[in-house]
Structure 1
Amino acid sequence: MPIGPPSTFTRAFATALTTHCQTAGLTQRQIAERIAREQFRQRGSRYDRPTDAELIKATEQWAKTISRWKNGDALPRDPGDLLLVLGVVHPEGTAKDWIRRWNQARKRTDFAVGTSEEPAPPQPRKLIVDETPADTTPAVSVSANSGAVGTFNALIPVNGRPPIIWPHRIGIVPAPVDCRQDRRADHVLAACLAGEDGAPVLSGMGGVGKTQIASVYAHYSWDTGAVDLLVWVTATSRDAILTSYAQAAADATGIEDPNTTIGAARFLAWLAEPHGRRWLIVLDDLQHPADLNQLWPPTVPTGRTLVTTRRRDHALTAGRQLIPVDVFTPQQSAAYLADKLDHDPGRLTQANDLAEDLGHLPLALAQAATYVMDQGLSCAGYRTRLTDRRRTLADLAPETGALPDEHRSTITATWALSIETADTLRPVGLARPILELAALLDPNGIPSLVFTAAKIIDFCATRAGRSVGSDDVQDAIRLLHRFNLVTVDDTIRRIVRVHSLVQRVVREATHPHDKQALVSAVIDALSDLYHAGWAGDHTLRELQVEANFRALLATDEPHIPVKLASMDPTSAAKLLYVSDWDAMEGLRTRMDPKDADAIEWAMIFLPEGGGGP
């Protein structure tokens, strides 16, 4: 089968690129170096300061690549590479027009990459055209009686579809976020994937930046030529995983299976074959561990698998390295806000306080910074709106179509799916009420004994519509822990922690009809815990009651004074005495004067230290 010269489209592309390179007034080496620097910059703070050796290597690779494009020997492998070059040689050009030309050239199957009569040009990455399933031989031998003699590298259809050119990428890898911060998890992940530690699992609550850590690693692996196949899977369902695997199987083997289950099995089998291809599979935002049953990529020396998820179930982490992803450190929050707000002193007023208000959650900081810029506010102005109880968190986020960094949802919606899913798992119907209770208490530490108090168990039974025991409540807490909605610290008397923004989102979503019962159950539980733990001084349990009742008062729920007024005045007085004496002044305005007087007199006549039970 004779193979002709490069197509008209390819020649036109090469001519236009050569013209623009000449017009730029730069040498090919200078152009290549600028492109290399821009590529490092786009990968984010972890990679935007390359060593001299890395920059020289990348420059040489780009110089060779540009030479091949100008000679008509090759085309850019994707629009991203094309736009990198145009940003240097033709910055005022129309990207849409160039992408159209590139697509026209790529669609031509009569475009020859090269022939054996010419020395193979140096390549920054090894480009190989597959001609048969799982065959790594890049050439086609043509006999003399077929009209041509020699060995050619060419695009030849396999089973009715054009073969792929290696290296190959499947799926859309998210772009690096603006003003990205270097994270500890970046380095742990790189070290894990450099070794033989199996499939690492990036786990953390929604909004901490797991996807971004994975995408930066994926971009780095692709751009440095560390992988031949990169597959990015949005793993929100088993069907989504099967579909991505089936597409990868069709691309890698040339065989399209109408049944995605068969296609996925073919892909997993191909990954295990000794073909020498280096691959990276990223399974992003895994919702259910069971979705990967029989679908985990094989463990082979040339392959790596990376999972991001809000879950931390044992089924996910057994035999794999769990890499916890936490919120920003205060230093990272400060650096991020400074970069996002253009280091403007006016806008940065109270920036550290705002970061503390938002719990250093990366997603919340990104959306708050965007809102500040869009509304012409300062961090201090945003804090004022944040404390305005007439506004919800949804009111303080950018419009859905104006979210930063390709966010798919606002901070308010980030945890909604996790809460809904957790509430459907065993013990069914308890995850949400337990989280609603936790949303009224101290985010830094809630004694687990609070949740097993009799009044709390009664409340949960009413909400679930069935009999509930203390074991059921403990199981619900562990369930929320597995979803990264709370954290259970077993080392300090079983303390439960929950992020302050999760608390606010849950409080704002709680049905008004449930709030009175919630407040009543929480106050009764704290009162019981206080009396049970009395030891005549400030024991740890008493301090925990103090912190949690103070947190409850800070929510300013209107049912709090109603509940206190209905209690024995001495019991109410003891809670106020150990937590916030001054709070009574504000509560009085929402109580019957006689009830308020009774509680205040009880507080006055309590023995020093608050009195015993």
Structure 2
Amino acid sequence: MAGNLVLPARPVTWPAMIGIPPRPAAGFQPRIQAEDIHRHWKTRNGARGPGPDWAVLLSGPPGVGKTQLAASVFQDPAMGVDLRLWVRAESRTSVVAAFAEAADRVQVPVPDDADDDKKVAAFLNWLSTTERIWLVVFDNVSDPAQLAGLWPTGPGRVLITTYRQDAALVIGNGVSQVRLGVFTPEEAQGYIERRIQDATRNGLHTASNVLDEADGLANDLGFLPVALAQAVSVVLYQVIRCSDYRVDFAHRANSLSELFPERLPADEYERTVATTWSLAMEQANTHLPNGLASRMVQLAAATNPAGAPEAVFLAEPSLAFLSAASQPSSPESEVSAAQVRSALRDLHSLSLLEHQPIPLAIVRMHTLTQRAVNESTTASMSETAVLALADSLSVIWPAQQRENLASLLANTEHLIAEFDDVLWKDGAHDVLFTAGISMLETGMVAAAIRHFEWLSKLSRDRLGHLHPDTVVGRSDLARAYKDAGKLAEAIEVLRQLEADYKRQLTQTNNADFLRVQGNLATCYQELGQTSTAIPMLENIAKVLPNLLGKNHPDVIATRNNLAAAFLRSGQSERAVPLLEGILKEQEDRLGKEEPTVIDARNNLAGALLGSGAVAQAVELFEQSVADESVRGSAHPRSLAARSNLGHAYLKSGMIRSAVRLLRNVLEDMENFLGSDHPSTLNTRNTLAGAYFTLGDVNHGIRLMEDNLKRQEEVLGKKHPNTLGTRHNLAGAHLTKQHVALAVKLFTQSLADMEEVFGEGHPRCAEERKNLAYAKSLLGPSGIV
């Protein structure tokens, strides 16, 4: 970290709690196993690293209360820990996302959006070396092998919940296992009594002798906590006695067995929950008319059991699905967001799901309840619910990406794992593409590559090489490679796609084919092969308007890319008029404040800046900052506009103004986008350059060294931006007479440039000169 520029806006407040555990269930029943967990931990005595009792594994079948027990331990103030971290551990992705958030919250220099083991290593290293005592809970681990390399060590405690009885063997040595089963008869009786007492204390009317045969009810339900929760909720909801519920339960169990023997689960616990769920749903349906309750639980049954944002249930596709329960359809039958929130509270009161409105609005449904719902739902209705959920995830994703990225990804992974056939019924569902693009936009480039490799292969196998969804998937894979600096891989994907089109098309005046060629041309441009890129882009810019119309976004993007290629090749006299024409056309058609118009103005300003028309560029960038300010200073577009203006100030010689503006922008980007967002990385480099120009080379070097490490982790060592930073850093060290270090950096830079661009590339020739000059400053022994 350099200077005070990367200090977070708010200091860490200890003790800290990160992650949202579920709230204590109504009438929460303490379990004897909590004492077993604490007893194992007492043997640690601050020991570091794996060893006896480095982790406690809480295992047991679904529905016995593992998560509730873990949450009670997690929240126990007597634990005396400085950091509590609650991790939803269904997948590696969700664990990495949780670690990234924690790293940011406790000010560890680790990428905010990390998804690779290297990015996680910094946070794990902090856990292993800090003097602070911590507790990490991994809730609902389904595949321990997936989390290899992510288990923390250090002066802390680890608690893992899982239904896997073999998890301890998979995780390795030093894991102490605590098994949790159903309630004991005494615990079950205590739970029922506590629920009734709490209800009475809160002014709820209960039946006289409500506890009549409470022990028998617990026995009927196999002492299963999740079933008892639903049963007692119905007892309170209907104002009946436990003995009355026993009669209803027996009748319903017999009816289900006689009417749907093929649907009734073989597992005893699942059969019990199927019955208690049926009785609870009967009450929900009486209170929520027109089938709303049934559709609400069908939607919830498709979500990740760890929870989904409440916004999913309030999105337009979900509201349309819920409104369709009313027949015939009419404006009056449309379900509103307020009605959905009210319905969630009703279903929560019947223990059919958990609605946690604060601090983050989350809806959870227990796995056993989900199974009961899915078993009672027709295939067509289940499919409709899944599609509504997938559509809703796509709709809310942009607004929810920053706060709920881990949950959005986890729910997408859940849909892929459980409802794969539905997502591919009419081609690949949009949410599959949305998830991958989100990874790219948040800096999770390695994850995006893996995702699009999977998606493009599956799409080719299922839909064919040139199905529109396959083409999009392969193009997105190329984009992911390009963003990672893997230009050779990106070009190979696009060349294969281009060849597939040429084999099938009778003529190449095809919009999809030209889009592929446009992407390929931008990759050539990135490599500096503008002599190849420019003719391709000129042809596309000539043909594509005839196919799509001159105002189509792809046509405008092609003309912008052509202008960028002109600039890259030193032909600013061709680039500037082209961009001036685009801006005028956009302003005449849309006005001056539309985002696409502001983008056109920024592109022109950048071209003017590169051509030496600095004053004009500054004026245009200042206008863009003013236009974008209405979005708020934290909006990504506003941040980008301010960063561009800072760069323009630097080029115009307004060095102190540039430093002031870039410092403020960098601080805002770190707070709102994350320290390792691609835009933040670019702005940090620009600020370092401003310090160089100001004469504060040491400050600039510290900032650029920090940025180089981040770029190597986030973008990769051979990404063009990383190569540029290493080159600039070498030059800065040379300025300070750090000749040996400069030689080392120039040597590495040249080797990487030759691998990326080819030995004959102009950048490589220039870097050889830089290296030779630096070496000439060394004495015969390699000493200055």
Normalised TM-score (structure 2): 0.31
User: TM-score, structure 1 length as denominator?
Assistant: 0.40
Higher share of residues assigned helix: 2
